């Protein structure tokens, strides 16, 4: 092969590689496009500590308030089914947490536990909520119990759905989600197939994972700045000792888990129950990590029963 032929071959190879990468190129989507696509034109926003937080506030304003906190990589739409069925009786408030959905990246790229709690506290302050209940899933579950520990006299009831944040003693001080540098490529390349494969383990029955749900997760991960924020949060997350804070929680607490949760096993409920002052545990058979989306009505029934049981403590 001549030198010219080698150059041509290398050029063709580089061209093919460039075309392949171009085909995988996954740019961010515009906020307006996402808002229109996922029924969020009615979403409101409020500036909290320099961050514009997008949220939905539905149901009677004089009804007991329920604050919903989604999990890692998700958005407020994860609560769509539950919200529609709770709205007649409760004021349902759900937000895109810092680093996710239309809220997007924190201006200071700060995703510490203290900043998360401060933003949530100032958010409910701005909405004028003196008392409220909190429902949190996974990462949002950790934020929920952190908020309840920080504001024990304001949180009336607490529902922790497969909450994160209770490590083994040996793991305290470690970074559980620190990612290698190569993961930075997700800011440029994020095939929908990869998103689907990352969600499948969150379902006990992967056949329940439909295309519309995969499309929503894929699209919301392409909201402006979200992928960079996910990398920042992953690298900043440090396991701390939860016990002193959990002991400060006064609110009656429901620990709600899918029996086949492959991400945060249901056996973790025992660790929380041993520390919390007033808790009950429900483990739902044949459900995985995303029980509010795999079989919405099943998990919702447990939530409604818990809220009804503690109706006297849950006031507007």
Say whether pLDDT at 280 is over 50: yes
Per-residue confidence (pLDDT) for residue 13, from 0 to 100: 34
Distance, in Å, from the CA atom of 97 to the CA atom of 116, rounded to the nearest integer, reads: 9
* 118-147 residue pLDDT tens: 999 999 999 999 999 999 999 999 999 999
Say whether pLDDT at 299 is over 70: yes
For residues 21-25, give the mean pLDDT.
Answer: 60
SS3 199: helix
Distance, in Å, from the CA atom of 262 to the CA atom of 264, rounded to the nearest integer, reads: 6
Dihedral pair phi/psi, residue 89, rounded to 5°: -115, -25
Domain coordinates in residue numbering, the chain: 28-309
Per-residue confidence (pLDDT) for residue 180, from 0 to 100: 84
What is the average pLDDT value for the chain, to the nearest integer? 90
Q: DSSP assignment, residue 223?
A: S
Distance, in Å, from the CA atom of 10 to the CA atom of 17, rounded to the nearest integer, reads: 10
Q: Where are the alpha helices (DSSP H) in the chain?
A: 3-24, 31-37, 80-86, 113-126, 139-150, 192-199, 211-220, 226-236, 243-246, 269-273, 291-294, 296-309
Residue 16 binned pLDDT confidence (cut-offs 50, 70, 90):
very low
CATH of domain 28-309: 3.40.50.1820
Distance, in Å, from the CA atom of 263 to the CA atom of 138, rounded to the nearest integer, reads: 9
Per-residue confidence (pLDDT) for residue 40, from 0 to 100: 66
Residues in the chain: 316
Per-residue confidence (pLDDT) for residue 47, from 0 to 100: 96
Query: What is the DSSP annotation of 59-73?
Result: S-TTSPEEEEE--TT
Distance, in Å, from the CA atom of 7 to the CA atom of 104, rounded to the nearest integer, reads: 44
Q: Which of 183, 174, 135, 127 is nearest to 155 (CA)?
A: 135
Q: Which of 178, 159, 154 is nearest to 310 (CA)?
A: 159
Say whether pLDDT at 39 is over 80: no
Per-residue confidence (pLDDT) for residue 23, from 0 to 100: 52
CA–chain centroid gap for 107, Å, is: 19
Say whether pLDDT at 42 is over 70: no
Dihedral pair phi/psi, residue 24, rounded to 5°: -95, -10
Kindly state the tokens that stand for 199: 């969600």
Enter the pTM of the model: 0.92
Q: Specify burial of residue 16 (Cβ count, 10 A radius: 0-12, 13-18, 19+).
A: exposed
* 188-210 residue pLDDT tens: 989 999 999 999 999 999 999 99
* 220-244 residue pLDDT tens: 999 999 999 999 999 999 999 999 9
Distance, in Å, from the CA atom of 245 to the CA atom of 223, rounded to the nearest integer, reads: 33
Kindly state the tokens that stand for 300: 């919702």
Distance, in Å, from the CA atom of 237 to the CA atom of 231, rounded to the nearest integer, reads: 10
- Contact 97/136 with Cβ under 8 angstroms? no
Per-residue confidence (pLDDT) for residue 18, from 0 to 100: 37
Quote the percentage of the chain above a pLDDT of 90. 81
Distance, in Å, from the CA atom of 136 to the CA atom of 142, rounded to the nearest integer, reads: 7
Distance, in Å, from the CA atom of 30 to the CA atom of 216, rounded to the nearest integer, reads: 14
């Amino acid at each position: 092969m001549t030198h010219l032929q080698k150059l041509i071959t290398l050029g063709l190879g580089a061209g093919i590689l460039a075309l392949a990468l171009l085909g995988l190129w996954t740019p961010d989507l515009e906020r307006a496009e996402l808002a229109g696509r996922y029924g969020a034109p009615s979403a409101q926003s409020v500036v909290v500590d320099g961050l514009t937080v997008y949220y939905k506030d539905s149901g009677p304003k004089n009804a007991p308030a329920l604050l919903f906190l989604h999990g890692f990589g998700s958005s407020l739409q994860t609560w769509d089914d539950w919200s529609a069925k709770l709205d007649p009786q409760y004021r349902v408030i759900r937000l895109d947490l810092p680093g996710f959905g239309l809220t997007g990246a924190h201006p200071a790229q700060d995703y510490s536990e203290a900043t998360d709690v401060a933003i949530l506290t100032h958010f409910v302050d701005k909405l004028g909520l003196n008392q409220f209940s909190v429902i949190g899933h996974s990462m949002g579950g950790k934020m929920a119990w952190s908020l309840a520990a920080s504001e024990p006299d304001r949180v009336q009831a607490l529902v922790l759905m497969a909450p994160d944040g209770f490590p083994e003693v040996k793991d305290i001080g470690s970074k559980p989600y620190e990612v290698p540098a190569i993961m930075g490529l997700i800011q440029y390349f994020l095939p929908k197939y990869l998103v689907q494969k990352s969600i499948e383990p969150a379902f006990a029955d992967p056949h329940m994972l439909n295309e519309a749900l995969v499309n929503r997760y894929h699209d919301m991960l392409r909201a402006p700045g979200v992928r960079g924020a996910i990398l920042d949060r992953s690298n900043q997350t440090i396991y701390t000792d939860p016990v002193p804070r959990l002991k400060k929680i006064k609110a009656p607490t429901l620990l709600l888990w899918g029996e086949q949760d492959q991400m945060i096993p249901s056996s973790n409920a025992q660790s929380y129950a041993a520390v919390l002052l007033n808790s009950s545990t429900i483990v739902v058979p044949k459900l995985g990590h995303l029980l509010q989306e795999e079989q919405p009505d099943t998990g919702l029934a447990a939530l409604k029963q818990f809220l009804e049981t503690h109706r006297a403590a849950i006031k507007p």
